[in-house]
Amino acid sequence: MLFDYLLSSTKACGELEKQESLTYGLFLQPHSFTLEQNSIGEMVLKLEHSNHQHYLFKAKPKREDLEQSDLEVLTKFTWQHITDDQNQVQKQALLLNFDPDRVRYYSGCNRNYYKYSIENNTIFHLGHYGGTVMMCPINLQEKQFEKLSAKPFHFKFDYSTTFPKLILESKYQPNMIFQAIPRKKALHYPET
């Protein structure tokens, strides 16, 4: 495929000049391309330049696709709280399971859930709280999560490890970090 016309602007780009030259070359020189799905299901554009070099481009999803993708990642795993605080002893790590409309959490005694919604990487607590009330010692992880989730909070994923990490951020409470583990169906949650 040959692109005959290329509209561009002329700016002083400094360090980006090499990248810009490559971009012009990709579209001005004859080349072939294929659209394929990679091993993790992402669409990839493979472009072969006339100099026989190959370039890969990943599709950038639309915002609504990202939100759906975030929900898929949240609901795919059980999330186990991790801490590097030596003073915080965890007999049972706080576990979270996200379902499409509710988050369930458990840390060894009480089993709780609440309804939520997601918008722009923010989780909104919708109320409808439920759970058990047993005579358990105060669980600091549980209380920290309840304080954090009382107001809308942001989340992001860290994909630098084999399983992703979930980072919950709030301007009102300290961040909480959770490691993804294979999804557990039975976390001793209340029937709803």
pLDDT in tens, 18-46: 667 666 666 666 567 777 877 777 777 78
Overall number of domains in the chain = 2
Which residues form the domain of 52? 14-58
Do residues 138 and 87 both lie within one domain? Answer: yes
Confidence (pLDDT) at 79: 93
Element (H, E) at 98: strand 95-98
Do residues 128 and 40 both lie within one domain? Answer: no
Do residues 126 and 163 both lie within one domain? Answer: yes
Do residues 117 and 162 both lie within one domain? Answer: yes
Do residues 128 and 142 both lie within one domain? Answer: yes
Do residues 37 and 131 both lie within one domain? Answer: no
pLDDT tens string 153-165? 889 998 888 889 9
Do residues 45 and 74 both lie within one domain? Answer: no
Residues of the chain with pLDDT under 50: 1-7, 66-67, 189-192
Q: For the chain, what percentages of helix, strand and coil (3-state, to nearest 5) are there?
A: 20, 35, 45
